[in-house]
Amino acid sequence: MYPAAILPRLPVSIAGVLVLLTTARSALAQANYHSSPIGGRSGLMGGTGVALARDGAAPFLNPATILNIDDSGVAFSVNFYTAQWTTLSAFHQPGAVDAARYGALSLPDTSLSGSHADALPSTLCLFLTIGHWGDNAPEADPVPGHRVGRRKLAACLGTLERYNLSATAAGYSGTSGALTANQATSVQQAWQRVYVGPTYSQYVSDHVAIGGSLDGIVTTASSQWDVDTLVHDGAASSMASTYNTATSGFSVDLAAQVGLMWHVDAAQVLGVSLTSPSVHLVGNTSTTAGLQAGEAAQLATSTGQFSAPTPMRLAVGIGSVGRRVRVEGDASLYVPVTYLEQADLQTTQTVSGPKGTTSSTSPSTLEVDGRPLVDAAVGLETFLSSRLSLLTGASLDMSPLGPLPQRPQIGTLQQTRMQRAALSIGMGSYGDGSELLFGTELSYAWGQSLAFDPYEATPGLSVVDQRTFGIMFIIAGSASISAFRRTLRDLGDVVRIPTR
């Protein structure tokens, strides 16, 4: 049994709080590189498209592939609806326990679970044909297979990375020996990266197309933690601690991409794209962080510059197009040239205790380093008839981060490290110049996340395991603008009233 007489010795020392919070800065999150779908067909085929893309994913996977989109003009529509269930193991007692204060504390059922449902942003593109289509002649129909001279321009906006964790107003109560621990928790983390810019592509021969794009990249990140803990023995003695922090930041960068699409023969297509490391333009972050434990309390505010550059990417895709089957396999190599995130901060800290209050201001620089990785995806479309197909796919997205340190500093930029595997299946329906795609993607993500440990001699952050199950519903379609015009023209012929 844990003796209640120990409880009066619970207050945390002022020195401990000072050591803990001299590094209290901002806390942001890095998502996987493929953490958000960017096209309906691409999403149902495992996120592939470096060789065969023909929807809104084309400008972002390989700019040369926008020439796969028919010249007649296509209007795209795609909707993504997702639900996720996340579990953080041992969140309410994540690490070591100060035995002098809490004895052999072993709380039951300490996992934190949360669910989240959302409608994901979709890609928005405008595709324009430049000059004549086909054999550079004004005739209506190009010669089959004669592609030289075809040119296309696109303007696109898409969300390529997105991460969201929400466990709001989560309560916990656990008993260990004579002690009862009550905790109120609210955790929210968000990361989003949006690309916007023009794309151009042209066939330089009947078999080879080249393309390029220039994208402005806007990265936004936010994080909010509130953890209130009360430990008592049922009598008059108790120990309370409060930890809270809120952060927001943004980074604006610029990156270029070049791509090649080679029709090896009538069926085989090779796609290659190379994306440059981004150039940072502007960014900012601000943070507040506070901790109160026993008689000690601290408040820190930070402001400064924030940058989140994108890495160099080399993607290779091999596709095959037959009468009944379309198949593609992609591999993407990501190489961070510098850091993944950096914050240059100016922090003001105020620490209060029984002997008075002190205040100080100091600069600091925080960085998160990345490591090279390879992501892979495969996709298959099987035509059951000329108007109906089955689409399936699988993908694996690794994390660019190394393992989280077992004793992270409060204020670390590196909050979450997750790997993700996904399977997708759907149906495609085709009509006169239009198509409708619908299906689902099932995903499983595993890795590490942070948790606040109030039971150590100096309260701080610990690492816990994180698991996330997700299901995403995809509804996508396209309609030929020329077919729509023909429909209107035919409708006008039907309803036209003859005049005398």
Task: Give every CB contact of residue 500 below 8 A, 6+ residues apart in sequence.
Answer: none
Are the beta carbons of 48 and 397 closer than 8 angstroms?
no
What integer pLDDT is reported at residue 20 of this predicted model? Answer: 45
| DSSP annotation string for 76-93 | EEEEEEEEEEEEETTTTS
**pLDDT of res. 68:** 92
Give CA separation, 329 vs 143, 213, 302, 452, in Å: 29, 23, 46, 42
Instruction: Determine the residue type at 230.
Output: L
DSSP 54-77: -STTHHHH-GGGGGGS-TT-EEEE
Name the residue type at position 282. Answer: V
Q: Which pLDDT does position 11 carry in this prediction?
A: 43
Which of 432-442 are b and which e, b meaning 16 or more Cβ less than 10 Å from the residue's Cβ? ebebbbbbebe
Residue count of the chain, please give it: 500
Report pTM. 0.87
Domains and CATH numbers, the chain: 4-495 (2.40.160.60)
pLDDT at 72: 58
Task: Please say whether the beta carbons of 310 and 253 come within 8 A.
Answer: yes
pLDDT digits (tens), the chain, 500 positions? 333 333 434 444 444 444 444 444 444 556 678 888 888 999 999 999 999 999 999 999 999 999 998 765 666 778 899 999 999 999 999 988 888 888 888 999 999 888 888 888 888 888 888 876 654 444 444 445 678 988 999 999 999 999 888 887 788 999 998 889 999 988 888 999 999 999 999 999 999 999 999 999 999 999 888 999 988 887 767 788 888 888 999 999 999 999 999 999 999 999 999 999 999 999 999 988 888 877 788 888 999 999 999 999 999 999 999 999 999 999 999 999 989 999 999 999 998 888 888 999 999 888 888 899 999 999 999 999 989 999 999 999 999 988 888 777 766 667 788 899 999 999 999 887 788 999 999 999 999 988 888 888 778 888 899 999 999 999 998 877 666 566 556 656 655 555 55
pLDDT at 483: 61
Main-chain phi, psi angles of 11, to 5 degrees: -55, 135
CA separation, residue 407 to residues 301, 358, 386, 412, 482 (Å): 22, 26, 59, 11, 61
User: Which backbone phi and psi does 421 adopt, to 5 degrees?
Assistant: -125, 140
Beta strand segments in 21-178, E: 74-88, 112-120, 124-129, 151-176
Nearest to 294 by CA among 243, 360, 239: 239
pLDDT for 217 equals: 97
User: For position 24, what pLDDT does the model report?
Assistant: 41
